[in-house]
Amino acid sequence: MNKKIIIFTGDPISINSEILYKCWKKINNSTKKKIYIISNFNLLERQFIKLKYPIKLLKVKDIYQNSKDTRLKIIDINLKFKNVFKIPTANSSKFIINSLNYAHRLAQNPDVSGMINCPINKKLLNKANIGVTEYLASKSNIKDDSEVMLIHNKIISVSPITTHIDLRKVSKTISKEKIIKKIKTIDKWFMKNLKIKPKIGMLGLNPHNAELRVNSEENKIIIPAILNLKRFGIKITGPLVSDTIFINSYKKYDVLVGMYHDQILAPFKTMFKFNAINITLGLKYLRVSPDHGVATDLIGKNKANSSSLLECINFLNKYGK
């Protein structure tokens, strides 16, 4: 497959230039030819110099220029940054939003296999409690709650029904309709992209599933959603008990779906660390990102782990449209 891979370098105050360099050393020339970076050319060049990373950069205008070149091809987002790793918040925010919007447009090109965004401080998106998943869903005019955050590796995938909201809002935000739409998105994506009918395990919301009390969310929302999904031929089991599922029983499933972010991401990351990628399902294109944050405490220390970004590149190489 010769389709292009778009990588947005993400938050300029981060470990992103480090993990990009480390990945670049590991990928082959065939893959390098496909990759186009959305970034600020001058800033990225100075960051590599500051980090003492020898890497050849090439400024290009679009994804069709210098397609056989193995240098790091940069589509420049032209903003002025005086400092290398100390950048005003306003400029960082403008850079991130302009870059994401451009990557979103490019990703819809039929010659592009998908887009990768390196980690971003979501506060810089200028909207409270919104991450890249929600931002791109909004840009794609998805208003029916069908977009999905899927954290994926070769062993197990996990997905939260609610994403970046406060815990006190979760019980009011989940609904039978929302669960059904998101599970259908997951089922469809697995069959289309991974060519398998996934076995899905659905977790409850409350400790011990609230003992399945009549007025519990399990009885009023989650069980009716599961019964409905089974009528569509979806292989789903639940509600499962959250406090023991990650001991051993998770191996029975392809996907575990929880009601809120940390219910499933905390145990998942404890088990697999950086061995995962974040995929947004429901868009018109494949969007993936490393499953970690900006790690400002590691800037300049050459200690950042690039394996998740490398998995993102390998994933698009294999499954990109």
Mind listing the pLDDT tens digit of every residue in the chain (321 residues)? 589 999 999 999 999 999 999 999 999 999 999 999 999 999 999 999 999 999 999 999 999 999 999 999 999 998 877 777 887 778 888 899 999 999 999 999 999 999 999 999 888 876 655 788 888 888 888 776 778 999 999 999 999 999 888 999 999 999 999 999 999 999 999 999 899 999 999 999 999 998 889 999 999 999 999 999 999 999 999 999 999 999 999 999 999 999 999 999 999 999 998 889 999 998 889 999 998 889 989 998 999 999 999 999 999 988 876
Task: Say how far apart CA 132 and CA 135 lie, in whole Å.
Answer: 5
**189 and 264, same domain (yes or no):** yes
**113 and 197, same domain (yes or no):** no
Distance separating the N- and C-terminal Cα atoms of the chain: 9
Domain that holds residue 168: 145-276
**37 and 70, same domain (yes or no):** yes
What are the distances in angstroms from CA 173 to CA 142, 214, 221, 260, 282? 17, 19, 11, 10, 19
Q: Tokens standing for 19?
A: 């993990």
How many structural domains are present in the chain? 2
Nearest to 178 by CA among 255, 260, 235: 260
Sign, CA dihedral 263-312-292-26, equals: positive
Q: Which residues contact 246 (CB under 8 A, 6 or more apart)?
A: 267, 268, 271
The 3-state DSSP class for residue 50 equals helix
Residue identified by tokens 């029916």 is: 144
Q: Cβ distance 160 to 266 under 8 Å?
A: no
**287 and 268, same domain (yes or no):** no
Q: Cβ distance 185 to 148 under 8 Å?
A: yes
**26 and 127, same domain (yes or no):** yes
Q: Tokens standing for 111?
A: 């010659």
Last residue of a domain, one of 276, 292, 308: 276
Q: Tokens standing for 135?
A: 């931002």
**195 and 292, same domain (yes or no):** no
Residue identified by tokens 């399990």 is: 218
**36 and 115, same domain (yes or no):** yes
**83 and 117, same domain (yes or no):** yes
DSSP lists the bridge partners of residue 277 as 152, 290
**166 and 249, same domain (yes or no):** yes
**186 and 131, same domain (yes or no):** no
Q: Tokens standing for 282?
A: 């429901």
**181 and 86, same domain (yes or no):** no
Nearest to 198 by CA among 161, 252, 147: 252
Task: Say how far apart CA 183 and CA 209 lie, in whole Å.
Answer: 19
Q: Tokens standing for 31?
A: 């893959």
Q: Tokens standing for 52?
A: 């003492």
The CATH number for 304's domain is 3.40.718.10
Q: Tokens standing for 112?
A: 């592009």
H/E element, 151? strand 148-152
Q: Cβ distance 122 to 132 under 8 Å?
A: yes
Q: Cβ distance 50 to 13 under 8 Å?
A: no
Residue identified by tokens 């970034």 is: 39
**187 and 112, same domain (yes or no):** no
